[in-house]
Amino acid sequence: MISEQERNSLIQFRINQANEAIEEVSKLIEANMLNIAVNRIYYGMFYSLNALALKHEFSSSKHLQLIGWFNKTFVKPGLVDIKYGQILRDAFKNRTEGDYVPFITFEKEDVQIMHENMRSFISEIEDILGDTSP
């Protein structure tokens, strides 16, 4: 078990990773590296979701289990808008297809929308983290 100070440091580390990913995605879109951008979009959201899970002492090594926990704990009871559950599911699906489906391509305009959704999702997680206590 980790101390509260260690947990808070790890939460901040994950939020910093999420915000760094936002900047990375901007550069990847500019460079027209869209499949990599889609990957980073999901992982930026994943980092922020990890921070939230740490705050609530939830742990999982499986992406879908973490997504399910978020939906059950925050989306279903109405603590966050349902759109954030959809943004997260779409990002996971797109990342998986981009990483594993041969010949898949993404349109720049679509990736720019995904990037805006990522920013919104991470901002929402940061707001939740600011409103809750361990």
pLDDT in tens, 99-130: 999 999 999 999 999 999 999 999 999 999 99
What is the 3-class SS of 16-83, one letter each residue?
HHHHHHHHHHHHHHHCCCHHHHHHHHHHHHHHHHHHHHHHCCCCCCCHHHHHHHHHHHHHCCCCCCHH
pLDDT in tens, 55-79: 999 998 899 999 999 999 999 999 9
d(CA 113, CA 131): 27
Q: Does residue 134 have a pLDDT over 50? A: no
d(CA 87, CA 8): 26
Residues in the chain: 134
Nearby residues of 63 by Cβ (< 8 Å), 6 or more positions away = 46, 92
Reported confidence tier of residue 131, pLDDT bands at 50, 70, 90: low
pLDDT in tens, 28-50: 999 999 999 999 999 999 999 99
Which homologous superfamily does the CATH classification assign to the domain defined by 4-131? Nucleotidyltransferases  domain 2 (1.20.120.330)
pTM, whole model, 2 decimals? 0.94
Residue 76 has a pLDDT of 97
